Structure 1
Amino acid sequence: MSGQTSSSNPTIADPYQYLQIIPNPNGTITRDPNRFPNSSPSPDPKNPTPVLSKDTVINQSRKTWVRIFLPRQTIVDSSSTNKLPLIVYFHGGGFINCSASSTIFHDFCSKMTLDLQFVVVSVDYRLAPEHRLPAAYDDAVEVLRWIKTTQEDWLIENVDYTRCFIMGSSAGANIAFHAGLCVSQEVDNLVPLKIKGLILHHPFIGGVQRTGSEMRLVDDPHLPQCVNDLMWNLALPSGVDRDHEYCNPMVDGGSKLWENLRLLGWKVLVTGCDGDPMIDRQMEFVNMLVTRDIKVLSHFSKGGYHVVELKEPSKAKTLLVLMKDFMFN
């Protein structure tokens, strides 16, 4: 997910400047603290906000945590026995930017919570290049195991653990499907947590060979190709290219672990738009799942741009209707 600029803006020629990051000699980057505004949680039930939220530490040494979102009415109506489904959500940012507190993702999770009447656990995972992949995948799996065992009252009192979906936007969608593949090998150990499917919102994937949509949108103002390449260079393990499985899920025919999803009956929703440079890869990804006999639903809209639903309320509304139909049917 990148900032907006015009295709003639010279910053597109300098992806570091475009992302407002500075590379350091020790392999880390310095991020602009004002680039992505943050929002604080609202944990007080007396607060009139329709969605409550609070932060909980997952791993102190890794500095990972989650922000839990809960419809306020759930706490008010304590007599209700109707527990809510769960979405475990991973934010975008090209693996190198943003957090669960970033306003753009805080607001999106709040909207999901309110409109869908789900509990949302939004994950703050470690960022690259300080922590290259698979660090974010490891953090994702750790959170899913934590949900199984935690005594966190908002979850214990309000969540129906048998209805869980793993979701992410952009790089977060990439994390969601890799985490899903990992935990598909240990579903018995996650009980009472029962995963029903994956929701991949504009999944951030790539490869060495340029696709038609990548060439057509090489200077896309929302996600220029040079910026896309830089984020992968910073996120992937040192010494590998974009045909590594973390970036290109179609390489060598795809992971053998997809067979687990078929056997478990998990569903997969993939969304995108033809204004996203990655649409050709996303459609190829869907076709691969179809050939694996995975229950997959795809929705690719006309126009738009990468993760447009995070910025345009009318598009977000359409996405949430699609998600509701996917999750309840």
Structure 2
Amino acid sequence: MGSIPHVVEDCLGILQVYSDGSIFRLSDDQIDFHNFPIKDDGSVIWKDIIYNNQNKDGKDSLYLRLYKPKCMAKKQLPIIYFFHGGGFCVGSRVWPNCHSCCIRLSSELEALVIAPDYSLAPEYRLPAAMDDAFTSIKWLQDLAIGFM
């Protein structure tokens, strides 16, 4: 009979790896973000969008957050894609550290910033995260073709 699985890695309680290889991860709504203030001086407008695209694993929605400097209404802007860190198993575009970083990038670089979420392990195995990243870039390409 095997031993009871125990925690071998603990990342601030957000992600725990057990001795049997199983993983526990808090969902975004279970994490208390009150200790992580968002740095927003009002110079950037942002909005969340949902791109509905039936992809091969059956997941049909991709969530993105778009950021644009307020003062750049008529000017063409460079585009920066911001793929959050987290080793493809934690993180989100809505986390305060990612959100604050995207606000700063958009404001200081005078750029449109696109921050997509992507499928996280262990629920979605690689290359699901890369497929989502590619889908988000394809979404932008399809929009650009529509303007030409």
Conservation of the 8 A alpha-carbon contact between 2:33 and 2:96 = yes
Identify the residue that residue 8 of structure 2 maps to in structure 1.
14
Could you state the TM-score of these two structures normalised by the residue count of structure 1?
0.34
Task: Identify if the C-alpha distance between structure 1 residues 28 and 18 changes in structure 2 by more than 3 Å, giving closer, same or farther.
Answer: closer
Between structure 1 and structure 2, the one with the greater Rg is 1
Does 2:29 match 1:31? no
Letter in 1 for 2:66: I
CA distance in structure 2 between the aligned counterparts of 1:23 and 1:73, rounded to whole angstroms: 45
What is the CA distance between 1:29 and its match in structure 2? 3.2
CA distance in structure 1 between the aligned counterparts of 2:52 and 2:63, rounded to whole angstroms: 7
What pairs up with 1:103-118 in 2 under 5 angstroms?
Answer: 103-118=96-111
Please, which runs of 5 or more residues in structure 2 have no aligned partner? 1-6, 54-58
What pairs up with 1:170-249 in 2 under 5 angstroms?
Answer: none
State how many pairs are aligned: 128
Conservation of the 8 A alpha-carbon contact between 2:72 and 2:110 = no
What pairs up with 1:258-273 in 2 under 5 angstroms?
Answer: none
What is the CA distance between 1:149 and its match in structure 2? 1.5
CA distance in structure 2 between the aligned counterparts of 1:102 and 1:30, rounded to whole angstroms: 15
Does 2:147 match 1:149? no
Residue by residue over 1:259-282, the C-alpha shift from the partner in whole angstroms, topping out at 9 and shown as x without a partner, is: xxxxxxxxxxxxxxxxxxxxxxxx
Could you state the TM-score of these two structures normalised by the residue count of structure 2?
0.72
Letter in 1 for 2:78: P
Larger proportion of strand: 2
CA distance in structure 2 between the aligned counterparts of 1:92 and 1:50, rounded to whole angstroms: 25
What is the CA distance between 1:31 and its match in structure 2? 1.2
**Cα RMSD over matched residues?**
3.2
Letter in 1 for 2:134: V
- Aligned counterpart in structure 1 of residue 70 of structure 2, from 60, 66, 72: 72
Larger proportion of helix: 1
Please, which runs of 5 or more residues in structure 1 have no aligned partner? 1-12, 43-47, 157-191, 193-329
